[in-house]
Amino acid sequence: MLPLAVTGLSLVTLLLGYRFYSRYLAERLWHLRGDEPVPAVELEDGVDHVPTKMGVLWGHHFSSIAGAAPILGPAMAIVWGWVPALLWIVLGVVFMGATHDFGALVISVRHRGQTIGSLAERYVGPRARVLFLIVIFFLIWLVGAVFAFAIANLFIAFPASILPVNAQIVVAVLIGWWGYKRKRSLLVPSIVVLVGLYAAIFGTAAGVLWVPQPGSIFLSRDFWLVALMIYAFVASSLPVWLLLQPRDLVNSHQLIVGLVALYAGFVLAAPAFNAPPVGEVEALPAIFPLLFVTIACGAISGFHGLVSSGTTSKQLAKATDARPIGYGAMLVEAALAILATMAVACGLWDGVDHAHAWGYLDTTIHAAGHDGSLPLPQVGQALAAFVNGAAGFLGALGIPMTTGKAIVAVLVISFAGTSLDTALRIQRLVLAELGAIYDVKPLQNRWIGGALACGSVLALIYADYDQGAKSLWPVFGATNQVLAAFTLLICALYLRKLGRRAAAYAVPAAIVMVITFCAMAVQVVHDFQQGKWLVTAVGAVIAVLAAFVALQGAAAWREGSRSA
């Protein structure tokens, strides 16, 4: 019963955070008003700036930020035990992560939908903007490679997910056209698509519908890596209403149904912990600082600030919608991260509790050191652990294990795909911004920018192909968190300029900055010692760029102190 009590306490804490802390931020710091101007209305263009109903935008925003990361991070970080993982997720999201997402969304809306990179110039300094944009470019470069590897590996491991996931994309385009061009509600069509999605899942799991067989090109990693980049190129360049919004609305319904079912199965199964509260294996790396960059999404993630300021702020129809979308969606992501922690820590694999998750982690830890790698599970291995563990929870509801695995795999892949195309859409906007700064016209073309964004990710994928994104994950985590620290700092500088209390943003900014630079130093030194030259070079460049931005941010804060 201990896992149930721990989970219940964690979820109640999230609810209290929304009820009290988010209200404090909205009313006392941001002074949100329903009648204030928003860029989606003032700059409506039918492509990026599109005023959107709160429910639809919540689904799009949540699907964009969730991805596979809130599952992958906890599944890897469980090596340190479930207590540190849960403490960081719950306390981190209430006071840092949701606060960060909310602030990034509001500050962007108040600056005509400008991205956090553009706002760095206004509040930190002119040179900070370019450096910040380059850091963002590296982050999304890593995000694209990690998520593409994750999706490709899941398609291969769970082939019954291939047809439902890809059919959903095609149908989403149709309901997007229906909603935008015909001015019809997306709610009913999205629910119909969701029912059809589950029907397809049950059909493929039962062998009634098509599932690729061994030897098929659809079970080739290379096929999916290339296909995913082609898809991301098209999806990131299309108007948001045509694919992203309708598909993400379906995905948000899918997640709500999935979370309710998984939590219900978890309660009925009433499992015991198989992972220890705190890891005691000597081979473990220091919990500080690596835990805090291994679990990023679910606690705090700089990528979310890019979504909030890069796409969501351009679709917000009313300023007061920022609270449920910016703060609330992040809490639901934390609920997913908590579930991922429970699925791996309790490990009801194949419906039997003796084949538990800690077995694969324990093997990973004791095997560490032979190749010089940090003792963390492979990306695909960690995601597979969640799929198997979560399917065990669904088994408590009477759902067959094969079908349960397909349901969870489709859920994970759908969200990873959403994050992938949203990330590359932001990358296109980053390239356009750099093109405007340096007057490079081709970069400002959305098709050329999209091709460069996707092509560069594909190049990184094949440069790190043998590691399958394992070596990129710690670099991604550190870059992600340093970007979160900068976003928090910009919010703090903005509030300070208005004469309001900035501690709610300044203190988390300082904490995350210190943790992240420690983690970056540890990772760069480790990769250098192991001869991982690509990852070392990327990590070192990001560390240097981040240090320059941090110094400029400190100078801007001191300047604000003198002028206050």
**Which pLDDT tens digits describe the chain residue by residue (564 residues)?**
799 999 999 999 999 999 999 999 999 999 999 889 999 888 888 777 889 889 888 987 887 787 777 887 888 788 788 899 999 999 999 999 999 999 999 999 999 888 888 888 888 887 788 888 888 888 889 888 888 988 998 899 899 999 999 999 888 888 888 877 777 777 788 889 899 999 999 999 998 999 999 999 999 999 999 999 999 998 888 887 788 778 877 887 888 898 899 999 999 988 888 878 887 655 566 788 888 888 888 899 998 998 899 889 999 999 999 999 999 999 999 999 999 898 888 864 333 332 333 343 443 333 333 333 444 555 666 777 788 878 888 988 999 988 999 999 998 898 788 878 878 888 988 899 889 888 899 999 988 999 999 999 999 989 888 776 667 777 888 888 888 999 999 999 999 989 899 999 999 999 999 988 888 888 788 778 877 788 888 888 888 888 887 888 888 888 765 554
Helical segments of 270-357, H only: 287-294, 302-310, 322, 329-346
Give which of 291, 407, 330 is closest to 25, Cα–Cα. 330
Count of domains forming the chain: 1
Dihedral of the CA atoms 189, 190, 193, 198 (nearest 10)? -140
> pLDDT tens digit string along 60-108?
788 778 777 788 788 878 878 889 999 999 999 999 999 999 999 999 9
8 A C-beta contact, residue 194 and residue 257: yes
HSE value, Cβ hemisphere, 13 Å, CA-based, for 146: 26
The CA distance from 317 to 519, in Å, is 39
- Cis preceding-peptide flag for 289 (omega within 30 of 0): yes
Closest CA to 223 of 153, 144, 160: 153
Task: Please answer whether residues 68 and 416 qualify as being in contact, where contact means their C-beta atoms are separated by less than 8 angstroms.
Answer: yes
Q: 3-class DSSP state for residue 233?
A: helix
Rounded Cα–Cα distance for residues 262 and 390 (Å): 7
Please give the pLDDT value at position 469.
67
Q: What are the Cα distances from residue 421, in Å, to 145, 228, 359, 537?
A: 12, 9, 34, 26
Residue 389: give the domain boundaries. Answer: 2-563
Whether 304 contacts 386, CB under 8 Å: no
Task: Report how far residue 526's alpha carbon sits from residue 537's, in angstroms, rounded to the nearest whole number.
Answer: 12
The confidence score (pLDDT) of residue 470 equals 67
- pLDDT at site 538: 84
Write the DSSP string, 19-60. IIIHHHIIIIIS---TTS--HHHHT--SSS---B-HHHHHHH
Which pLDDT score, from 0 to 100, does residue 74 have? 86
For 491, the token pair is 């919010």
Q: Which two tokens stand for residue 149?
A: 């590897």
List the Cα angle 33/39/42 in 5-degree steps: 105
